[in-house]
Chain A
Amino acid sequence: MLTFNSLNFRTWSKLGQRGAFFGLAVFEVVEQFDNTMILTADLAYLTGLERFINKYPEKFLNIGIAEQNMLGISAGLAHEGKIVFATTYASFITMRSCEQMRHYLGYMKSNIKIVGSGAGLIMSYSGNTHYTFEDLSIVRAIPNITILSPADATESVKVALAAAEFVGPVYIRLTGGLNTPMVYKEDYNFKIGKAITLTNEGDVTVFATGSMVYNSLEAAKILKEKGILVRVVNIHTVKPIDKECIKVSNDCSKLLVSVEEHSKIGGLGGTVAEYLCSKSNHAPLLRLGIADEFRHAGDYTYLLSENRLLPEQIAHDIEEKYLSLIP
């Protein structure tokens, strides 16, 4: 039984989102839902599933390097009442097996939880084939798939439990590596579809998701010193988006900002923009994210920096935009 307290949150943050998900949360999931199965495409050890396999060999299947077949088999298992977690790198599972996602999850509504690990730029020196900055746009366009993007290791545990309980297809996007910063130091309520406003003071609202929630909080601290107060909202559910939260934020903000470790096209920023454009008047939206190009590889910090996603860069770009709005 997992205990949600500050001490554990600190320990879990060392494991990162993927480590906490597959090293801890899945045990809790299986205790609550005996019909759970975990499938991987030759990424069991890298995913940190060794302990799980040792404890529950009958609840684990390795399909080999065949992501498309993995989703087909997952769907067949789901057909017979299994709750299936299918996992590999986010890039491969959302793109190599994109049509399988559309067919088995979207069209047939199979009760599969796809867990894409290493999303964003964390794959650093592996290069662009292993980066994933298109997945939100791709998966979002498919009907019936709920998209969850946890902000830290603790939230990835909450996401695992919520996804298992939720009946229907889910895509879970895991970002960051080991020793990830903590967004949550105390326990809190997580509900699919309900965004969480982390700081609620100011006339700028930042909608952030995944790894960028922490960076946005840090950016907000920098801006506070400069006299700009920023509300930071954790959009852990990218689809269905919390429209009420965007509406409320729009009503109280001079500037809206989206921050994501994802392409600026079609992800969180795109979602917010699509909602806002139907309003007769809305605050301007600054969309921060990964540039629309393939760049040279580098370490994680270098890549974030190249895409202006480090806290000081986020703060700088928000400040610049904010000041430009003052007549």
Chain B
Amino acid sequence: MVECKYSVMDKETKSKIITLSAKLRNHSLKMALDAGKNGSHLGGGLSLVEVFATLYGIVISDENRNPANSNHDRVIISKGHCVLSYYSVLNEFGLLSDEDIASFETNGSILHGHATRDLSRGIEFSGGSLGLGLSYAIGVALAGKINNRSYKVYAIVGDGECNEGIVWEAFMSAAHFKLDNLTVIVDHNKLQYDGNLTTIMNMGSLKEKLDAFGFNTNQVDGHDVEQLVEAFQNYVCDKPNAIIANTLKGKGVSFMENRKEWHYSVLTQEQYDLAMSEQSIKI
């Protein structure tokens, strides 16, 4: 059974996670600025800020965040391009150093546009090619069951990524193997590279589909940390868990929100300044 260590979301905790989210958003924008003309995946990075803040800040304990602990929780980023907020949260918790962050998108760096497995830095999976992380997470969760380990597996996938067939093969197997130690978080920002999800390839209701695939599915506002915490707590024995996080691509920057042009783009100094002027908390 899942131990509930965060059953009460007190005001102090909520405020801590909101502050952490602001910090991650600030940090992501700075990384995008520093990437210069190489550009970066802003839209899908910013949509996951609150998810990462909640997951790393409250759901996963300090002990279970430590990769040196063999029973640490496994976070598997299938949506490999969300590195701005992902690297930011790893940096926040000391898994990536400031030097690592400074090397983002420089020649020969370990930190390029898609996260590459580096277990000592808490990066479990090499992402980039969409759809490949979820099956991997199924294997890791299965091994947890087989080896009688108590670690939890969190897999982050994009909604556009769900166009890929292997994602549905993986969904199918998650329920079959009764992986209640797995939580799949779908970043449902409703925008993919070429435009609106429903225009490009209308998948209908992800919630209905995941329910039908045997998941314990929770659909929440992916920028509301209270709703996220509640969803992470919701647990049904023998069922894999899914959180459909309704998010906004480019969340937190008015001129990026819900704009496909900001899927991958260069952030100029002027744009950075403008984006930062909109941040309620600057850290």
Contacts and interface: CB of A to CB of B under 8 A. Distances in A.
Tell me whether chain A's interface is mostly helix, strand or loop, or mixed: helix
A79 B138 CA distance: 11
Interface class of chain B by DSSP: helix
Contact of A82 (B136, B143, B166, B172): B143
Contacts of B169: 64, 66, 68-69
Nearest to B177: A61
Nearest to A37: B146
Nearest to A66: B169
B138 A103 contact: no
A73 B173 contact: yes
Interface of A: 37, 58, 61, 63-64, 66, 68-69, 71-82, 99-100, 103-104, 107-108
Interface in B139-193: 139-144, 146-147, 149, 165-166, 169-170, 172-173, 176
B121 to A, nearest CB: 15
A324 B117 CA distance: 55
Contact of B132 (A64, A79, A104): A104
Contacts of B46: none
B191 to A, nearest CB: 25
A249 B140 CA distance: 46
Contacts of A75: 135-136, 139
B240 to A, nearest CB: 13
A63 B143 CA distance: 14
Contact of A69 (B126, B135, B147): B135
B166 A72 contact: yes
A72 B136 contact: yes
Contacts of A73: 135-136, 138-139, 142, 173
A66 B165 CA distance: 10
B248 to A, nearest CB: 30
A300 B184 CA distance: 47
B171 to A, nearest CB: 10
Contacts of B136: 72-73, 75-76, 79, 104
Interface string B106-150: 000000000001000000111001001011111111111011010
A76 B147 CA distance: 13
Contact of B143 (A68, A71, A77): A77
A239 B181 CA distance: 39
